Amino acid sequence: MFEGLFSGILWALDTVILGIALAMSPFVSTEQAIFLAPFASTFVHDFCSGIWMLVYMGIKREYGKVIKALKTKSGKYIMLGALLGGPIGMSGYVAAIKFIGPAYTAIISAIFPAIGAFLAYIFLKEKMSRIQLVGLGVSILGVIGLSYVSDGGARPENLVIGLFCAVLCVFGWAGEAVICAYGMKDPDVSDEQALQIRQITSTIFYGAIVLPIVAGWGFTLSIIPTQIAPVILLAALFGTVSYVLYYRAINKLGPAKAMALNITYTAWSIVFALILLKEIPSAKSIIFGVIVICGSLVAANGIGGTRKQN
C-alpha cells in the first residue's frame, strides 16, 4: 500500500513538472505547436522514461532477463497492456481534451479505477467488499469534484467523438493494469521487467504510429535541443519511479488496489502546485483532495487478498 500510495505522489510531481514544460514557449508559440504539444511531450516523456529504465535495469544487469521475458507468453500480454495504457489510452485522453476540453475529460477518465476493478473481478476473480466499493466510489467522486469546472452549461463541440475518445482512454488505462497484472502472474517476469517491456513497447508504437498520423515528428525533433528537454527528462525520472512503484503495487496487491491508490495523484498535485508554482489551493480543492485520499485508502485496504506475501 505504501508503494501504491507513493506511486500517486510521484505521478503528481511528474504531472506538475510536465505542466511547467508544456507552458514553455516552444509549446505555445503557434497553433500547430499547441495542437502537437501533448503528442510530442507524451512521446518524449515515455522515451526518457524508457531510458531511465534502461539505466536502472543495466545497473541491476537484467537486460538478458528482459529479453527472455519478451519472448514469453506473459511478455506478450504485457506488450498488449502497454499498447492499451500508452498509445491507445493516452491518445484517447489527449484527443478527448481537444474535442471536449480538459474538465469533461478529467471527469470521465476518473472512472478508470472502477472499470479496472470490474475487469479485475471478471478476469482475475478479485473480489471487492461493500466497504471497498464505497471507498472507491467516494474517491472517484472526489476526483470528479476536483476536476469539475463549470462552463455555464455550454455544450462542447464534437461531443460524440470526444466522449468516444474519453471512453477509449478509460478502458485503455483500466485494461493496462488488468492485463499487465495477468502477465506478471508468471514468476519469471518481475514487475520491473514488465515495466521495461511496457516503456519500450509504448515508445516504439507511439513513435512509429501516433506521431506520423498527427505529422508530429518534425515538431518533436525541434524541441529536443531546447530548454524543454531537461524539464521533461526530470519529469520522466519521477514518472519512472512512479511507474516502478505502480507496477509493484499491481503485482503485490492486484490492479484494483493499485489503481485506487494511484488515483490519489489528483489530490497530491495540489500540494506540488503549491510548493513549485505557489498556487494557493481553494477550499474546494483541499476538501475534495482529502476525500480522494481517504476514499482511496479505504478502497485499497482489503480488496481481495494480496497475491504475494510482500
**Please, which pLDDT band fits residue 151 given cuts at 50, 70 and 90?**
very low
Q: Calculate mean pLDDT across residues 169-188.
A: 91
pLDDT category at 156 given cuts 50, 70, 90 is low
Instruction: Give the chain's largest Cα–Cα span.
Output: 56
Segment 49-58 mean pLDDT: 95
Separation CA 245–CA 252 (nearest Å): 10
Please tell me the pTM assigned to this model. Answer: 0.85
What is the sign of the dihedral through the CA atoms of 166, 267, 44 and 76? negative
- Calculate mean pLDDT across residues 127-155: 74
Assign 302 a pLDDT band (cuts: 50, 70, 90): low
The per-residue pLDDT for 84 is 93
Compute the average pLDDT of residues 276-281: 87
Read off the pLDDT of each residue in 212-240 and give the average, rounded to a whole number.
Answer: 93
**pLDDT range class, residue 142, cuts 50, 70, 90:** confident
Cell of residue 233, nine digits: 527528462
Could you give the residue ranges of the DSSP H alpha helices within the chain?
2-22, 25-28, 31-59, 63-70, 73-83, 89-109, 112-123, 130-147, 159-183, 191-205, 211-213, 217-223, 228-253, 255-262, 265-277, 283-300
Q: Rounded to the nearest 5 degrees, what angle is found at the Cα of 180, between the Cα atoms of 174 and 183?
A: 145
Name the average pLDDT for the chain: 86
Q: pLDDT at position 306, please?
A: 43
Q: What does the pLDDT read at residue 292? A: 87
What average pLDDT does the segment 111-139 reach?
A: 85
Domain boundaries along the sequence of the chain: 2-300
Q: pLDDT band at 310, cuts 50/70/90?
A: very low
Percentage of residues in the chain having pLDDT higher than 90: 40
User: In the prediction, which pLDDT does 305 show?
Assistant: 43
* Higher per-residue pLDDT: 208 or 284: 208
Q: Is the pLDDT of residue 128 over 80?
A: no
Residue among 39, 23, 10, 85 nearest 219 (CA): 39
Residue 307's pLDDT is 46
Query: Please, which pLDDT band fits residue 103 given cuts at 50, 70 and 90?
Result: low
Confirm if 209 and 218 have CB atoms less than 8 A apart. no
Q: Please tell me the predicted confidence (pLDDT) of residue 282.
A: 84
User: For the residues 11-16, what does the mean pLDDT come to?
Assistant: 90
In terms of pLDDT, which residue wins out, 125 or 220? 220
> Could you read off the pLDDT of 57-97 as tens digits, one per residue?
999 999 999 999 999 999 999 999 999 988 888 888 878 87
Per-residue pLDDT for 154 more than 60? Answer: no
